[in-house]
């Protein structure tokens, strides 16, 4: 393990993937911990390294300009030998992938809260000319209070550029690719919307909309087949949410949401409708509980006996008082 990358002191390894390693590191200049993502350039020739380096800086700078509460902030980038690296905000919390895998008991409303934040982050990035290209649960962090942060903006495109130079192979997560990614067609923000639709489907149902024994089988389904409605797997899902997922997963980009702002708007509307319905249900429940409490206020046998006894004693006392007054009056 590296001890330093630039000014950053490496403390521990956080994760490892095909493209490189993610470290927890300390920045002594700012006195804070950061996450460092590395990309290995070893297999490239010198000319290819120079070309990639230019592309790397271009993409990292574009991603670094993104300043949004639902996007992990990029602080710095650099290179040490054949290792290119990006320093970014360190997040303490699980990935959405972990929450889905562990089948965490999130309500439909909470899942919509998460989805809305992802859509908001995507909308902001797209408006600034940055397409993620690798939206998947492991690139979505869920922090305390269900606050969402999208990771790795711009990095998927950098990695794709690197590996296409080598072997001309498609880079991305096969289970979450859009049809145009699989077919090597031009990519725009609507590709992210398709990948988001797969993530949303998985969040709602616990299953992927497209699955198979191998990558080719999954890709065939993504390009040619329509998935089951989410509500057929989870009856709690309203029809409006079925429609949102279907629009995200349209095969042709022109049939999807035009942009992530429209998607966020529909998710917000769906969440509001659900919240209103739940509020009405809560009011009804409270009403029924109150009515039930009123109807069960019955006098018990013990209470009745005490009432009779107290009434009798009170009557005897009043009778004795009247009788005494009558005697006193007669003696006068």
**Active site residue ranges:** 134
Give the whole-angstrom CA distance, residue 144 versus residue 121.
Answer: 18
Q: 162 is written with which tokens?
A: 């690197």
Identify the helix (H) or strand (E) that includes residue 89: strand 83-89
Q: How far apart are CA 70 and CA 145, in angstroms?
A: 13
Burial class (CB in 10 A: 0-12, 13-18, 19+), 208: middle
CB 122 within 8 A of CB 196: yes
Q: Inter-axis angle of helices 239-248 and 189-205, to 10 degrees?
A: 140
Question: How many CB atoms within 10 Å of residue 47?
Answer: 9
How far apart (Å, rounded) are the C-alpha atoms in residues 53 and 43? 14
Q: Are strands 4-5 and 21-27 parallel, antiparallel or unpaired?
A: unpaired
User: Residue 86: left if φ>0, alpha if ψ -120 to 50, beta else—which one?
Assistant: beta
133 and 184 in contact (C-beta within 8 Å)? no
Token readout for 168 is 């001309």
Paired strand residues for 79: 84
140-143 and 147-150 strand pairing: antiparallel
What's 24-70 look like in SS3?
Answer: EEEECCCCEEEEEEEEECCCCCHHHHHHHHHHHHHHHHHHHCCCCCC
């Amino acid at each position: 393990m590296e001890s330093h990358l630039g000014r950053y002191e490496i403390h521990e390894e956080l994760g490892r993937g095909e493209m490189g390693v993610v470290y927890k590191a300390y920045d002594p200049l700012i006195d804070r911990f950061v996450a460092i993502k590395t990309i290995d350039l070893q297999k490239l020739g010198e000319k290819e390294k120079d070309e990639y380096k230019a592309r790397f800086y271009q993409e990292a700078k574009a991603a670094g300009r993104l300043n949004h509460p639902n996007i992990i902030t990029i602080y710095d980038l650099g290179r040490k030998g054949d290792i290119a690296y990006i320093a970014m905000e360190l997040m303490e919390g699980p990935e959405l992938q972990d929450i889905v895998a562990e089948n965490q008991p999130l309500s439909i409303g909470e899942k919509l809260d998460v989805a809305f934040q992802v859509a908001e982050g995507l909308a902001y990035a797209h408006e600034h000319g940055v397409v993620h290209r690798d939206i998947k649960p492991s690139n979505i962090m869920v922090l305390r209070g269900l606050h969402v942060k999208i990771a790795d903006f711009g990095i998927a495109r950098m990695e794709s550029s690197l590996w296409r130079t080598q072997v001309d192979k498609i880079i991305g997560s096969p289970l979450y690719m859009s049809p145009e990614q699989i077919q090597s067609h031009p990519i725009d923000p609507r590709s992210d919307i398709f990948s988001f639709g797969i993530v949303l489907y998985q969040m709602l149902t616990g299953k992927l909309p497209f699955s198979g024994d191998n990558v080719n089988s999954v890709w065939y389904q993504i390009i040619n087949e329509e998935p089951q409605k989410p509500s057929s797997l989870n009856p709690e899902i309203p029809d409006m949410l079925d429609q949102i997922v279907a629009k995200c997963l349209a095969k042709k980009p022109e049939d999807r949401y035009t942009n992530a702002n429209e998607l966020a708007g529909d998710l917000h509307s769906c969440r509001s409708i659900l919240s209103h319905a739940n509020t009405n249900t809560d009011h009804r429940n409270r009403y029924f509980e109150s009515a039930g409490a009123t109807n069960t206020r019955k006098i018990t046998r013990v209470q009745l006996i005490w009432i009779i006894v107290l009434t009798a004693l009170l009557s005897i006392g009043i009778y004795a008082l009247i009788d005494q007054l009558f005697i006193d009056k007669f003696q006068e």
